[in-house]
Amino acid sequence: MPVRHQILQDRRFHNLMPYRVREVLLVSSPYDAFILEEDGQLTEQVFFEYRDVSLSGPPRVTHVATGEEALLQMQKQRFDLILVMASLSDMGVNALGRKVKELRPGRPVVLLALDRKELDRSQELIDTEAIDAVFLWTGDSQILLAVIKYIEDRDNVDHDIEHGNVRVILMVEDSPRFYSAFLGLLYKELMNQSHSLYSEGVNELHRRMYMRSRPKVLHAKSYEQAVALFERYQRNVTAVVTDVRIPRGGVLDPGGGLAFAAFARQYDPELPVLLQSAEPANAEQAAAMDVAFVDKNSKSLLAEIREFLRQSLGFGEFVFRTPDGEEVARAADVRELERQLAVVPDESITYHAMHNHFSLWLMARSEFELAGRIRPRQVSDFPSVAATREYLIQLLRQTRQRAQRGVIADFSREQFARDLFSRFGQGSLGGKARGIAFMHLTLAGRRGRELGELDLTIPKTVVLTTECFDRFMEENQLADFAAECEEDAELAKRFRECRFDDDLRSELTFIAHEMTGPLAVRSSSLLEDSLHLPLAGIYNTLMIPNLSKDPEVRLRELATAVKIVYASTYFHNARTYLQSTGCRVEEEKMAVIVQRLVGRRHGARYYPNFAGVAQSHNFYPIGPQRAEDGIVHVALGLGRQVIDGGLALRFSPRHPGVIPQLATPRDMLDGTQRGFYALDLDHPCCADDGDFYGNVKHFDLEQAEADGTLLAVGSVFRRDEERLRENLGLTGPRVVSFNNILKHRAIPLAEALAELLALAERGLGCPVEMEFACDMGDWGRPPAPGRERARPVLYPLQVRPFAARGAHQELGQLSYRPEETLCVSERSLGHGIERAVQDIVYVRRQTWEANANKAIVAQIGEFNRSLGGQRRPYLLIGPGRWGTADPWLGIPVQWGHISNVRVIVEASPAGYGVEPSQGTHFFQNITSLRVGYLTVPPGADKTDGHSEFLDWAWLDGQPAARETRHLRHVRLETPLTVVLDGREGRGLILKPGARG
Amino acid sequence: MAHSVDDFIAHVVTRNPAEKEFHQAVREVVESIWPVIERDPRYRQGKILERIVEPERVVMFRVPWVDDQGEIQVNRGFRVEMNSALGPYKGGLRLHPSVTLGILKFLAFEQVFKNSLTTLPLGGGKGGSDFDPKAKSDGEIMRFCQAFMAELFRHIGPNTDVPAGDIGVGGRELGFLFGMYKKLANEFTGVLTGKGRDWGGSRIRPEATGYGLVYFAAEMLAARGDNLEGKRVLISGAGNVAQYAAEKVLEYGGKVLTISDSNGTIVDPQGIDRRKLDWIMDLKNNRRGRIAEYAQKFPEAEFLEDQRPWTVACDVALPCATENEISGADARALLDNGCTCVAEGANMPSDPDAVNAFLEAEILYGPGKAANAGGVAVSGLEMTQNAMRLTWTRQEVDERLRLIMREIHRTCVRHGRQDGFVNYLDGANIAGFIKVADAMLDQGVV
């Protein structure tokens, strides 16, 4: 799990412990170092210490022998902690401490004394300005953990209280010998208890994140310091551990600890206090004060402290008791507590409520907010015990529900209904699933899961990790076959015939049963992880109805879909793509996302109100749009309308009311979708004939109107007024204008998408592309009788990097001589200079006609294969929208047909003014593989004197290497120079030998 | 007084430099009516030509407005009130970056004669702004329209100047303009046409041009003692004009053989009946499909890819698609195939060669400026309804449209009859001019 996902696990904990000790500089004589390291390398010791208590990121220890070396080293490298041994050859520890503070003000310096004699000597001479703390080496490396955590806690406590309301244990002890030993013990115990506590957590990550919220330990050496610390952190002090004999008023007070305990109890009579003393006689006084007591010399010291922590800090199970101490029930986790609360006797609830046991226990689970809400409520605030009981149950339920949010849970049958996102298996989630997980976590990190009238969430998702793929491949011994077979149909057939192992079969049956209703089965490939390799649209995504009453049928549908996605790892399109990226298909592994399909059933059709793709960078900003505002393509029905490059509405999320490319109502009439895609529930899915998408069908808009889905996004074109009206009661052509949403703001779609894009871009650190779908709920109609009104919900379906365009190169002013220039475009994509292209393949304008577009695809594929075989990148020139699914709008190539292309020019004849390419999957690959893309206006021939042009005559004048009716291949003696300025969106292609 | 067309045009160019579109429009009109000027001394005496090319009033004004980003934008607004001899100035408002004073004067000048030809009491004018409605939000459009009307309102009125929509001004813009006028003038009057049907707009505006075209064609045939009954009719285009022309032809008993779009023509030898026409209307208006689909739906039809209809044998041709869609060769093919009547639903669909061919063959040739005047006519009818504070039914408006087209036809015949043949082109040009010129003479030197 990459860190960027991990840290989003829970914002509260993400923000905790901002100061971490990662680099330790140990300054000691070689001899001292030898003593320290006699049991092995110090770094290793720290590492094992961290590992033992399940802490991540152990610090690295660098050793130097002298003070001078230390100061030199500090100038070269950042250190978070300077650990100094007493005997340095070149300077005293105080001198070193002062120089460190001069060099790096505020950097902690801790003195580690090797024995008590040294400790006593150094304590007398210590300069507290130069040395932050003194510890005694106890012969146990856990002291290193204690020193580090002590420093971290000291520096983080204010921040963590402010951001996470964490708890504080106040330790009062003046003897370095004792506090050195005791702190080590205390920290280790805290870590272990925190860790064991969260075995109930939903996953390993969750547990680790909670470790950060363990109580902080603050240390006071005197009564006055203790009082000051207590007063400052009084609201968060959860326990006090104090020596009985502590300095007070400058002298050692034999009852100072007792006085402090009494002082603290004034503020909170229930505050757990542990008195420790080497004098057993103090036990009586402790008992008189109703505080715990341990004998410092006790052989069971550790066990006693452990029990104190467990009881006072709420670790362990919640034991329900009656006031007389009788145990009536136990709860191991919040869910169990909630269940038991409903049944335990009234007097038990009253007893625990009066003693703040609930809040204490919840605090231990880092439910600070919840605990903070319970703590101030008195039993007397409620009219009855029943009311108290109900209040607690409700609050716990909220806690539990919150715990589900933003968590990637490990798949479990028991928790499946609860978990919105879960993973099955230990392997990788794959790139696409990580994207979904990221959005899930991002949404959980928002203040709420709604934006005005719109709820935001991901669809219920379970990911079969790459481990399942490995198991499947291994179980069926498919690796060799898959690597060698080049026929998609054969691959699919063989994969379908293979079996999942019994475990996986059983879980798939369970998933199909639990997730009743249509499912999307999506690929999530390992290589998609790479920022530069988004494999959008390369692998298969299938949809299955999952509605049969027969569990066997459901299993078959789901299993077949998963197998086909597995097989698609080796399909021609994927192989070709991987080859062009320098990856090998053998390196690829496939996780599979099983996701509830967003939408509703309308007869035999199932589809969302609308779906689309949002990109955080707009390559074609028009009018008020800016590139960085992003762009959204949206269409009624399934997102296939958009993904395949069909007619969809394109808008900037920052200017949703302006659709520049469709400026007039008549433009809207002509330029918007006329039909939509939906899942046909009656059509068999994953057909044997290789048409895996046969159940996704295209329907006329009138069907959407009959289904009621046009209402939210449709308008009527009024011929007599030349305008659109959002009233489907009127007669006239229906237009999918999205006016109700984009102009009249029925739901804040644009705002939500803008926010999600911004969050995703910030999270991924690069431009992003996000697929989404929206269910309008009961918008515009009354809810079904007896049902609560369903709110509109926007579902991010996946998010992926929109590959960076290498915008590092400074190009300066683009200048050129027209006679030496093949092409000039004011709308180009890509950035940089390309000098490797000597081959040009272009669609001959003399013979081209739109109805030949389909036929041209195969020919281009053949040219592409041939040039790819010779490792010759080429320039491709042709009309209309490249990569569209609609052959009337352009040449409907898929990536595999043009995989060796380096630069594309979109140049249409006059009158073929198709909107620029926007088939997003196709485009995704174009941009991520840094294919240059230039668009020239329709009919912009150089001879016409346009500022943007393509010199067709020059092209036609070059000898053809190969020629067909529609295509011409020109091979040049020397390369073209392609110059693309991504910041300005300008591009030039210079002819060979040009001096521009 | 100039002694030739060229002299006069030179005079116009001198007074209106850098307005070449206006010069061109004046030349076309003057060349057409020069014989009338020469044979009627009253027009020379009254300096009608000199007066008619000079706008009665030109208003040019600043239109400042605030865009969505809070930036102040400044556009230039115009209203050219060209001629009010026959009635209140009437003509559209155009919002487009190409708008200049020269272009608006050219359009206003043509509008004078177009309106005159309708036989309705309408003067001529044109207005607009260099504002580009493209890539603007509804809010920006509204703020612009309000700022524009904040100045224009003092120059217009139901009895003074009645603008309508044009390029860039549809129902939405007219709504904003009217709302602001109403607020500033504190009166709800018919100061604009093209309004929403619920607040003063007229019925059958989309149908008007197509219906009017067929009424005109029927009048031409009637003048020869003929009618549309059983006539084979070719229609090009598949938009409003073509669809409603087809509808009216069917009502008159004609047989529509073709409809076309930019991809080609469908030819249905059995004729496009009401059922088929409904299918076409659904295809083009709702499903927005290509006309080629017709041939799949109705196998008796043939689809002529990338071809226009003019090679199909017919009696009547109604070009309703686009400018210059009938070349000289097309015209000869039509004539060879028996076509005896051409009425233009589009603006200037016949190129000069084609027009000459029709005139030489002395068939019934109804030029667009007369045959497609139905749209302007309904605007006039909207004014009338507003003035009367009435809303006519669809049938009432249609009937009045028919009468207007009949009247236009009569006027063309009156002025275009030449030795037993009616030159409708000359008739339309001369009729439009004479009506205005005579009114100007009647009203004295004003």
pLDDT for position A760: 85
Which structure tokens are listed for A188?
């280790």
pLDDT at site A807: 33
Contact across the interface for A720 and B165, Cβ inside 8 Å: no
Query: Looking at the predicted structure, is the pLDDT value of residue A289 above 70?
Result: yes
Residues A206-229, mean pLDDT to the nearest whole number: 79
Chain segment A248-276, per-residue pLDDT in tens: 988 989 889 999 999 998 888 878 899 98
pLDDT mean over A672-689? 86
Strand runs labelled E in A573-683: 590-596, 600-602, 605-607, 610-615, 631-636, 649-651, 675-680
CA distance A722 to chain B (A): 5
pLDDT, position A200: 44
Cβ contact, residue pair A674, B289, below 8 Å? yes
Average pLDDT over every residue of A290-295: 87
Q: Is A887 on the interface with B (CB under 8 A)?
A: no
Check whether B435 has a pLDDT greater than 90. Answer: yes
Put simply, the answer to whether A733 touches B170 (Cβ < 8 Å) is: no
- 3-state SS of A33-61 is HHHHCCCCCHHHHHHHHHHHCCCCCCCEE
Q: Estimate to the nearest angstrom the gap between the alpha carbon of A312 and the chain centroid.
A: 36
pLDDT at residue A616 greater than cutoff 70: yes
pLDDT in tens, A31-74: 666 556 543 445 555 655 565 554 556 777 888 888 888 999 99
N- to C-terminal Cα distance for chain A?
49
Contact A719 B286 (CB under 8 A): no
Q: Report ipTM (2 d.p.).
A: 0.81
Q: How close is the nearest chain B Cα to the Cα of A900, in Å?
A: 34
- The secondary structure of residue A662, as a DSSP letter, is G
Q: What is the pLDDT of residue A384?
A: 87
Q: What whole-number distance in Å separates Cα of residue A748 and Cα of residue A742? A: 8
How many other C-beta atoms are found inside a 10 Å radius of the C-beta of residue A530?
15
Residues of A in contact with B69 (CB under 8 A): 624
CB of B113 within 8 A of CB of B103?
no
Q: Does A658 touch chain B (CB under 8 A)?
A: yes
Instruction: Judge whether residue A198 has pLDDT over 70.
Output: no
Range A541-558 average pLDDT: 92
Interface contact B288-A670, CB threshold 8 A: yes
A539-543, A651-655, A865-869: least confidently modelled range: A539-543
> Cα–Cα distance between B90 and B442 in angstroms, integer?
20
Q: How confident is the model at residue A809 (pLDDT cuts 50, 70, 90)?
A: very low
What pLDDT was estimated at residue A412? Answer: 83
Q: How confident is the model over B246-263, as a mean pLDDT?
A: 94
CA distance B90 to chain A (A): 18
Say which of B67, B170, B240 has its CB closest to residue A664.
B170
Does residue B136 carry a catalytic annotation? no
Asked if A658 and B136 come within 8 Å (Cβ–Cβ), the reply is yes
Does residue B1 register a pLDDT over 70?
Answer: no
Give Dmax over CA atoms of chain B in angstroms.
67
Tokens (6 digits) for A765? 């650190």
**Residue A658 to residue B196, Cβ atoms within 8 A:** no
Instruction: Indicate whether A541 pLDDT > 90.
Output: no
- Chain B CB within 8 Å of residue A722 CB: yes
Provide the b/e sequence for A663-685 (b: ≥16 CB within 10 Å).
bbbbebbebbbbbbbbbbbeeeb
Tens of pLDDT, residue by residue over B41-99, are 999 999 999 999 999 999 999 999 999 989 999 999 999 999 999 999 999 999 988 78
DSSP secondary structure string for all residues of A345-405: -HHHHHHHHHTTHHHHHHHHTT-HHHHHHHTT--GGGSSSHHHHHHHHHHHHHHHHHHHHT
pLDDT tens digit string along B97-152?
A: 878 999 899 889 989 999 999 989 999 999 999 998 877 899 999 999 999 999 99
Of B205, B285, B305, the CB nearest to A733: B285
A128 pLDDT band, cuts 50/70/90, is confident
User: Cβ neighbours of residue A342 under 8 Å, at least 6 residues apart?
Assistant: A389, A393
The one catalytic residue in B90, B105, B114, B126 is B126
Give yes or no for A623 touching B (CB within 8 A).
yes
Question: Is the distance from CB of B2 to CB of B31 less than 8 angstroms?
Answer: no
The answer to whether residues A404 and A419 touch, using CB atoms and an 8 Å cutoff, is: yes
Q: A41-45, A336-340, A806-810, B353-357: which range is least confident on average?
A: A806-810
Cα–Cα distances (Å) from A367 to A8, A164, A214, A341, A361, in that order, read 17, 10, 11, 17, 9
* Closest residue to A733, CB basis, from B138, B171, B286: B286
> What confidence score (pLDDT) does residue A920 get?
46
**How many other C-beta atoms can be found within 10 angstroms of the C-beta atom of residue A123?**
13
The answer, yes or no, to whether residue B254 has pLDDT greater than 90, is: yes
Q: How far apart are CA A384 and CA A392, in angstroms?
A: 13
Out of A534-543, A879-888, B359-368, least confident range: A534-543
Contact A674 B197 (CB under 8 A): no
B286:A669 CB<8 A: no
pLDDT of residue A632: 94
- Asked if B294 contacts B260 with a C-beta cutoff of 8 angstroms, the reply is no
Residues of B in Cβ contact (< 8 Å) with A722 = 165, 170-171, 194
The minimal CB distance from B134 to the residues A623, A700, A851 is found for A623
The verdict on a CB contact (< 8 Å) between B135 and A658 is yes
pTM check: above 0.80: no
Cα angle B159-B205-A670, degrees, rounded to a multiple of 5: 125
Q: Left (φ > 0), alpha (ψ -120 to 50) or beta: where does B313 sit?
A: beta
A734 touches chain B (CB under 8 A): yes
Whole-number mean pLDDT of chain A?
Answer: 81
Average pLDDT in the A461-476 region? Answer: 92
Residue A3: pLDDT band by 50, 70, 90 thresholds? very low
pLDDT tens for residues B164-181? Answer: 988 888 889 999 999 999
pLDDT at A604 over 90: yes
Provide the 10 A C-beta neighbour count for residue A498: 17
Query: Nearest-CA distance from A726 to chain B in Å?
Result: 13
Q: Is B338 on the interface with A (CB under 8 A)?
A: no
Please give the pLDDT value at position A531: 38
Q: What is the pLDDT of residue A8?
A: 35
* Top-ranked range on mean pLDDT: pick from A39-48, A318-327, B374-383: B374-383
Mean pLDDT for the stretch of residues B327-349: 94
Would the pLDDT of B266 be above 90? Answer: yes
Which residues between 93 and 132 in chain B have a beta carbon less than 8 angstroms from any beta carbon of chain A? Answer: none
Q: Is B282 on the interface with A (CB under 8 A)?
A: no
Residue A919: pLDDT over 50: no
**B133, A622: Cβ pair inside 8 Å?**
no
Name the residue among B136, B196, B285 with its Cβ closest to that of A721: B196
- How far, in Å, CA of A817 to CA of B317, rounded? 51
Strand partners, B93: B127, B165
Which residues in B lie closer than 8 A to residue A702 (C-beta atoms)?
286
Distance from CA of A941 to the nearest CA of B (A): 22
Is residue B172 within 8 angstroms of chain A, CB to CB?
yes
The pLDDT value recorded for residue A42 is 54
Q: Distances in Å between the alpha carbon of A520 and those of A203, A432, A577, B251, B284?
A: 25, 13, 23, 54, 35
Which among B134, B137, B170 has the least Cβ separation from residue A723? B170
